[in-house]
Amino acid sequence: MDSLEKFLSLIAYAEGTYHIGDRGYNCIIGSTKKKPILFTDYREHPRKGVFVRRLGIYSTAAGRYQILLRYYRAYKRRLSLKDFSPASQDAIAVQMIKEQGALDDIHKGKIQEAILKCHKIWASFPGSPHKQSKITMKELLDFYERL
């Protein structure tokens, strides 16, 4: 597994989708291992708003990287994507990483730096401004090393 694939798995781990369903690709926000909320049609983002009681918010986050519907729509056009398939989800995540200036860090093995650059995108990363529990940097780096 190359460094980018490992980083993508790290995002899925942090977002809580790594061990659910189809490696998280068919996961809707609020899923847990014990109670997965899955979608079955990859032709489109599931467009399902879920009230997350513990956060007090509605969210349309879905897929391995918990992509919000509004971002899916924008990246679908920008990247000329045809669906919400695993390949499309990966393409969106990679584009988001690029936009944060973290892709080079990943390729150079500067994973902590990449995590810090991406913390505004993925709510579970340390330092994220979003209302969600955060995974510690140590736990993320330990997970990355185990891959």
Instruction: Name the active-site residue from 15, 44, 139, 145.
Output: 15
Closest CA relative to residue 58, chosen from 68, 71, 44: 68
What token pair was written down for 78?
């920008």
Amino acid code (one letter) for 35? K
The yes-or-no answer on residue 145 being catalytic is no
* In contact, 25 and 65? CB cutoff 8 Å: no
* Residue 55 near residue 131, CB atoms below 8 Å: yes
Residues 6 or more apart whose Cβ sits within 8 Å of residue 70: 60
Among 86, 91, 88, which Cα is nearest to 22's? 86
Element (H, E) at 1: none
Known catalytic residues? 15
